[in-house]
Structure formats: structure tokens, C-alpha cells
Structure 1
Amino acid sequence: MKRNIENKITSEVFAKIVELEKERNQEKQKVIAKEIINALDIEDFTPYMAYDNEGDIFIALNYDYSSNEINNSLITQKHDIYITSDGVYINDELDLKQLKEEYNETIKEQYNESLEEAKNICKEQKEFDDINEKLEFFNNQLMNLVNFQRPKYVGNYEKIIKIDEEIGKVEEIIKIYENKLKIKNKEKI
């Protein structure tokens, strides 16, 4: 990690850090520090200005996966990483690596949970669609029996009784699917 950070810091930035350490005027230190911060582009790290015990500015880096926030680091003066003209200093490299591993594991778990939830939603939607399809089929069958089959046999009581029995069965099936649909709708809520 240290080598990776050092490789991302250009010689111009290190020259600016030397200039920052030599400068005693705090306003000029702020200008130099802002230039350094703007020049630093290190993945997973956020550069910021920090103050030492004498009030001089130095550059620190906050690890994006760290529980330390920049404001907290400024108050406690415990920085994940700080940069001087001598090099890069890491407070606890093993801890920082572990934080990233934990973060990646959390992201992986959240992704798996989201994927499982999406699968469940798709499954529920398919069941909902199947019930709707069957309900539509039986409603069409009922309409056919009531509007076309029954009128054809006016006067033929035997046939009408059979059709009426079939209509009753289809109505029962429709009620079953309507209840299933109500249950699915309640489950969605």
C-alpha cells in the first residue's frame, strides 16, 4: 500500500511538500497545500490539510474505507496516512487493508441479497401472471358457456342442466383463482 501511494505521488508534488514544510507563513502554506491536494489523485484516498502541534500545515490522506472521518481525524490528530518530504507514513496498514476487505465483503453480501430479492420478485410476478392468465381463461370459458352454449339449447333441459353444472364448476374455479390473486396482492403489501 505504501509503495502504491508513493508511486502515485509525482516528484513535483514531493517538491511542493518540501516547499510546504519550509514555508512559515500560514496563508502561503494554505495555498501550497491546496495545490498539493489538487495534484493528488490516489485511488481509495482523500487528501486533506491537517495541522501539527505548532500550527503548521501538512498533507494527510483519509482512506475511503476507514471509519475515521476527516473531521474526526483533525480533532484527534490521528490520520490514516500522512505525507512528508521524507516519505509516506501509514498509521496501521494491516488495519486499513482489513477495512477494505470488510467493505468488499459487505458489498458482496448486499449484492447477493439484492440478487436474491430480485429473483424472489420475479418468481412472485410469474406466479401472479400465471394466476391472472388462468383467471382470464376461465372467465372467457364462463362467458362462452353463458353467452353462446346455453342459448343454443333453449328447450333442451338436459343439455341446459349440464351447461349450468359446468357454469357452476367454472364459477367455483374462478373464485379459487380470485382468492389466490387476493392472497398474492396481500403478500406484495
Structure 2
Amino acid sequence: MNRQTSQISHNSSTQLYYSQYLKQKQVSPIAERFVVDEVQELRKQVEQLTKQLEFKEQMISEMRAHQKILMNRLSEPTYYQNDSIIEKLKEFEVQLKEKEVQFQNQFIENSLLLKENQSLKQEITRLENLIKDPSIPKFVNSIVDLVIQCHPQNHFPNSKPELRQCWRWLKKILNDYIQLKQRMH
């Protein structure tokens, strides 16, 4: 689960940076809404899982109330009915234990889902804060400006290079630097 959260975080932050970059270039609103749609989808999942948990908890309480009613209805049997009632009681107890185990498993599953819901809520909050962070566009713009300054004037057909091109250029520069350092030592 931790691995999935970090993967979601990585993908979301990458999409967020790209979305911010597209905003500055005034690209279509579809690209801008991509991250917002993802956050809304996560919220819907949290709501659905919360509703499922509430429904299963309600079922458990209803089953317990039904069990109490059935136990109260049992009256003292006559001597000849005793064997059949004891047999039915044993069957009922077996069924009740099976249901109890089933509901305990569902309760555990719901608890895990609730915990996952909480982590999703935290992730949503973190993503919303990242969307509002003003330093991200500044950082992206500074990287793009650096790439433009380090290339000849008409190197890029558009006025600015794409974020992907900038990232590749930075990786190449860093790899070359590391190789030079290794040769020197």
C-alpha cells in the first residue's frame, strides 16, 4: 500500500508540474482539468468506501438485534419437542458463528478500507496543496530559461522548449558531469 501511495504521489506530482506548465503556456483547459479530475475521482472512491463501511456496520448491528429477538422468543419446550429444539438451536448456533466470522472478516476488511480512505484523504490534501504552491511554476520556468540560455538562439522551433526536452537535457548534462568526475578520480 505504501508503494502504491508513493507511485500515486510520483505520478500526481509529475502531472501537476506538467499541468502548471500547460497553464502558463495557456494550453487547452482539458490539460488543466486532468489533475482536478484525478482528485475528484479519489474523493468519489473515498465516499464509496465510507458508504460501504457504514452499510456493513449497520448489517452487523441488525444481525445482533435479530439474534436477541430470536433468543427472547424461545419458550420452554415440552419434553417431546426438546430433542428437535436442541438440534435446531445447535444448527442456529453454527449458522450464527459462521455469520459472526463472516462479519468479523468484513469488519477487518472495512477497517483496512477505512485506513486506506484516510491515506487517500491525506494524499488528496497534499495534492491540493501542491496545486496551490506558487514555487512550482517558478521552478519550472527557471529550468526552461536555463535550457534556453544554454542553447543557440534559434535552436528551438517554438519560443520555449517542452518540459520533456528540458528534463532530457538536464539528465544528459548530469550524466556527462558524473562521467567526467569518475575519470578524474
- TM-score band by shorter chain is 0.3 to 0.5
User: Using CA pairs below 8 Å that are at least 6 residues apart, which structure has the higher relative contact order?
Assistant: 2
Higher strand share: 1
Which structure has the larger Rg over C-alpha atoms?
A: 1
Higher helix share: 2
* TM-score normalised by length of structure 1: 0.41
